Structure 1
Amino acid sequence: MGNESATAAVNTTCLFDEEFLVTVMPPALAIFFILAASFNSFSLWILCFRIKQKTPIDFLMLNLCMGDLLFSLTYPLLITYYSNDNHWVFGNFMCKLQAFSISSSALASVFFLACISSYRCYMIIKPMQSQKRITKKCTIILSVIIWLLTCGVISPTFFIISIFELNGKLHCMSFNEESITANLLPSTIILFVLGFMIPFGSQLVSTMLIRRELANSKLTSQSQQRGQHAIRMMEVVLFIFLFCFFPPVMTRFLIATVDRNNCSLFQKLGIAYYSSLLCLYLNGVLNPIVYYYAGTKYRSKFNEIMKTWKYFSKPMPVSSNQSVNETKQ
């Protein structure tokens, strides 16, 4: 299936040895899939069914959650691919769709995290103006724009990525493919500027503005508490940016600029890149922490559900009559 499309050129300058992926990727991705799918399904259930009157930030979190859930659904195909000794059995179109889904959901996650942080900052600094100017309609329009922009930026993936045959196996999304190597540097620069530098810069500015606002002694205790929740959220988002998004972009840039004749260095950078991809896949596991600190309604519903589960997990109290009867026996 898909053999007729396996015509992509193979880079013969220096082939990257992908054998280590067979051992490392399947168990790691299996764990991430279980955690990400579970956490995001639970979060999606709260956002869709437990929060009736949704605020603008609830809509942003809903889109982020759907993007993370879409991201986690790409894991089973990757697990199958790596478990099958790096042999792609799903055809050329699915290879293109897989690459598009991974890239678009990751980029959308970056955009929505930046929007959530900016919105929380605006709520802390200008609470009255934020309620009047940022409406549900504006948030829905913004979400549509983000998805369209994301799909537009990632759309060249369908023309660049293709399956190719090497050593009797069909490969997908490999640095050994000539078309990927030829387009790696320009696409990496675009992703670095648009998908990291700009959102990360806005995140830093939002964090500094909130900290400056919290230094104001005139704030009420409720405003201080909201500000502290916002700071915790900002810290989590900053960690996600630095731990999940920066390493893949940086190692990808190094691979795009390294001399391919230096096979030893290229091999080490390839291992570093695929190792950093595990950090990217961890993003879907960490984002539910952002929901907890970002949305007041989400946090209250989450705590309410946790208290309910704790209540049912406790052993039922024994009545006094039952205790007397047991002692008599």
Structure 2
Amino acid sequence: MTNASCQSIIFDFTGRFLPPVYILVFIIGLVANGWGLKSLLHNWKKLKIINVFVLNLGLADILYLLTLPFLVAYYFMESKWIFGDAFCKITRFCFNLNLYGSIGFLTCISVYRYLAIVHPVRLIGRLTLTHSVRISVMVWFLVSVQSLPDMFYSKTFGNNTEKCFDTTSNIYVDDYLKYSLGWTVNGFCIPLLITLGCYGHVIVVLCSTNTTDKVLKLLFIVILLFSVCYIPYHVLKNLNLWSRVLQKQKICRKWSNGVYIAPQISRGLVCLNSALNPLVYLHGNEDIPAQLRQLLQQVRQMFSRPPPTNSAGVPMAQITDGGY
């Protein structure tokens, strides 16, 4: 197929789709993560091992959410990046830290749940708060090492520094595809298999005890995050890179347009993890559901409270409304 067929790709779709998603995620994510982190820090003395991982999960979300206003401005300005090449790379680096940090800490939470339920005797006294802090530092280190090579790939097109690619320009796309596939295996596939293995074993062990309620809730949250946010992103990202490699070789497919648009949708979905991760707070911290119930009760009372009356029993609103 000739290269002319590749020119029909709709490049302006991203500018219409991503900004509203980013604005929504920024508002919900900042409020939810801010509240969740505040609650965890407020109960610092009661901090459990699993909450250290939840705390780091929230920090990864906040780090990424703070970059979203710059990306919104970028897409609103029709993909013109005015913040410089260095900050472009930092912004993309923060996205990768959030993505793979979230996957890493969800995996840590899954492994801890597995050990606490399947091997409780071995766990007691052996896994301390200090250990969980060290594990968290290791997760940040591994995620940073995996994400760092991405910063050495060009994020601009030639001398045009007004672009800020999330992967790289077509000049380096062949090498980037190889790097991306390795990154996907190490940063996503292996943690996914570990997580599925842990919860699979836990459910088998607890099936006969009728105590799977809480575990199933966390399993549902993890499945939601992986199926909505992570799996589509990694599959479509690599498929899009492969399509670009084919186009570079002047091999164009009829699905080129769709394979460009689909990863942009998945990119919007993957950023939802920053708004969905706070669901883990509801599971991991028993105080937050109680605070939610108390807040809802206060709101209900506020709206159901009768209006104040004067000594004659006449609502004050009526007296006020009558005076012109």
TM-score (norm 1): 0.84
Deviations 1:70-90 (A, max 9, x none): 121221111000000100000
- 2:289 alignment partner, one of 289, 292, 303: 303
CA displacement at 1:192 relative to structure 2: 1.8
Q: Following the alignment from structure 2 to structure 1, what is the Cα–Cα distance between the partners of residues 80 and 180?
A: 26
Aligned residue runs from structure 1 range 64-103, under 5 A: 64-103=57-96
How far does residue 14 in structure 1 lie from its aligned partner after superposition? 5.8
My pick for the range that moved more, 256-265 or 100-109, is 256-265
Q: Give % identity.
A: 24
Q: Which moved more, 1:77-86 or 1:22-31?
A: 22-31
The one of 199, 202, 223 aligned to 1:207: 199
- CA distance in structure 1 between the aligned counterparts of 2:262 and 2:184, rounded to whole angstroms: 17
> Paired residue for 1:272?
262
Which stretch shifts more, 250-259 or 102-111? 250-259
Q: Give the aligned partner of residue 155 of structure 1.
A: 148
Shift of 1:17: 4.5
Residue 172 of structure 1 corresponds to 164
CA contact (8 A) 1:165 1:171 kept: no
| Partner of residue 136, structure 2 | 143
Aligned to 1:42: 35
Distance change (3 Å), C-alpha of 1:307 and 1:239 = closer
Deviations 1:193-216 (A, max 9, x none): 112211111111112111112123
For the aligned residue pairs, the C-alpha RMSD in angstroms reads: 2.8
Q: Distance in 2 between matches of 1:323 and 1:303?
A: 39
Residues 191 and 249 of structure 1 are in contact (CA less than 8 Å); yes or no, is this contact kept in structure 2? no
Q: Does residue 231 of structure 2 align to residue 246 of structure 1?
A: yes
Q: Does 1:197 align with 2:182?
A: no
Other-structure match for 1:290: 280
Distance in 2 between the 1:271 and 1:42 partners?
A: 34
Q: Give the aligned partner of residue 23 of structure 1.
A: 16
Q: 1:229 pairs with 200, 214, 225, which one? A: 214
How far apart are 1:138 and its partner, in Å? 0.7
| Matching residue of 2:313 | 326
- 1:135 & 1:70 partners in 2: Cα distance? 27
| Cα distance change on mapping 1:85 and 1:192 into 2, 3 Å | same
Q: Structure 1 residues 38-47 or 302-311, which shifts more?
A: 302-311
| Aligned equivalent of 1:109 | 102
Contact 1:163 1:171 (8 Å CA) reproduced: yes
Q: Distance in 2 between matches of 1:180 and 1:52?
A: 50
Instruction: Find 1:184's aligned residue among 176, 180, 184.
Output: 176
What SS does structure 1 have at the residue aligned with 2:278? helix
Partner of 1:5: none
Give the 3 Å change call, closer, same or farther, for CA 56–265 of structure 1 in structure 2.
same
Residue identity in the other structure for 2:298: F
- Preserved CA contact (<8 Å) 1:88 1:172: yes
Question: How big is each residue's C-alpha offset from its partner over 1:32-64, in whole Å with a ceiling of 9 and x where there is no partner?
Answer: 111111111111111111343211101010001
Distance 2:176 2:61 in 1: 25
C-alpha distance in structure 1 between counterparts of 2:129 and 2:312, whole Å: 61
SS state at 2:162 partner: strand
Do the aligned partners of 1:163 and 1:172 also contact (CA within 8 Å) in 2?
yes
Q: Which sections of structure 1, spanning at least 5 residues, go unmatched?
A: 1-11
Tell me what 2:319 maps to.
none
Does the 8 Å CA contact 2:85/2:156 hold for their aligned counterparts?
Answer: yes
Moved >4 Å (runs of 4+): 12-17, 322-325
CA distance in 2, matches of 1:232, 1:311: 24
Letter in 2 for 1:73: L
Structure 2 unpaired stretches of 5+: 317-324
Please report the TM-score for the alignment, with normalisation by the length of structure 2: 0.85
**2-structure distance, mates of 1:141, 1:17:** 46
Question: How many Å separate the matches in 1 of 2:168 and 2:103?
Answer: 28
Change (3 A) 1:88 1:13: farther
Instruction: After TM superposition, list the pairs within 5 Å mapping 1:258-269 onto structure 2.
Output: 258=243, 259-260=246-247, 261=250, 262=252, 264-269=254-259
Instruction: Give the Cα separation in 2 of the matches to 1:127 and 1:72.
Output: 37
Task: Please report how far the alpha carbon of residue 245 of structure 1 lies from its aligned counterpart in structure 2 after TM superposition.
Answer: 0.7
Measured after TM superposition, the shift of residue 312 of structure 1 is 3.0
Q: Does 1:32 align with 2:19?
A: no
Q: Which amino acid aligns with 1:214?
A: L
Look up the match of 1:7.
none
